[in-house]
Amino acid sequence: AERIRRLGAAAESSIASGVHSEALYYLNEVLAVLPQGREYTKSDRAKYHCLRSGVHLAIRDYNAAKADAQEAIELTPHMTEGYIRRAEAFEAMEDWDRARADYESAQAVQPEIT
């Protein structure tokens, strides 16, 4: 648990500093060590997939961003962040219909989003 916390903190610090390659390294590491199949870790895994999706967006790797967002949605369909990240990837790829559909999905999950 401590290693996961340290890796996650390092990833978030790297993201804040704009050091994308370092952030990807830490996010890959944290996702590799998070236990799978446990209910309490689904939201943790989704969080790190969303963070990694954001890094992929920043470096314009839109397919990887979309894949991480999709993983987050599959893990936690009740959370909006995955839909928003995937919508951002679709926007970057100029797939306007799918982007709009994901924004609408996010709004359906959390109606106060505008």
Residues 29-77 pLDDT 10s: 999 988 776 656 888 999 999 999 999 999 999 999 999 999 999 999 9
Q: Rounded to an integer, what distance in angstroms lies between the CA atom of residue 110 and that of residue 81? A: 10
Position 37 scores a pLDDT of: 63
**Torsion-angle region of 79 (φ positive above 0: left; ψ -120 to 50: alpha; else: beta):** beta
Asked if residue 8 has pLDDT above 90, the reply is: yes
**Residue 89, C-beta contacts closer than 8 angstroms, at least 6 positions apart:** 53, 56, 57, 62, 63, 65, 66, 69
pTM: 0.91
The stretch 79-98 carries a mean pLDDT of: 97
Asked if residue 104 has pLDDT above 90, the reply is: yes
Q: Rounded to an integer, what distance in angstroms lies between the CA atom of residue 47 and that of residue 58? A: 17
